[in-house]
Amino acid sequence: MNEDDIKKLIEEGLSGSQAVVSGDGTHFEATVIYKGFAGKSMLEQHRLVYGTLGDSMQGSIHALSIRTYTPQDWNKSIKTPNSR
């Protein structure tokens, strides 16, 4: 499994989401932006992402670090203090 495979699974599983995935073939990091995260705890958000990966978490993915954002939170996170 590679970054593109994981990205595709996440984006297909969470319709309308955007995912950026990096990794070394077994250890991966994913940043996922999805409006469906609104109102959910971080644990619930991560469970949604893990749910898109199915059995891959049992085999080909050894570790996955996840950062989740709603589109509004993402927009706030990318603004710098000087971008007024």
Cβ distance 68 to 34 under 8 Å? yes
String of DSSP letters for 6-56: HHHHHHHHSTT-EEEEEESSSEEEEEEE-GGGTT--HHHHHHHHHHHHGGG
Residue 11 has pLDDT above 70, yes or no: yes
Q: What tens digit of pLDDT does each residue of 39-81 get? A: 999 999 999 999 998 877 766 777 889 999 999 999 988 765 5
- Identify which has the larger pLDDT, 78 or 32: 32
The residue among 28 and 60 whose pLDDT is bigger is 28
Q: Going from the N-terminus, what domains does the chain have, and what CATH number goes with each?
A: 3-75 (3.30.300.90)
**69 strand-pairing partners:** 33
- The first and second tokens of residue 64, run together, are 């996955």
Question: Tokens representing 25?
Answer: 């073939």
pTM value is: 0.86
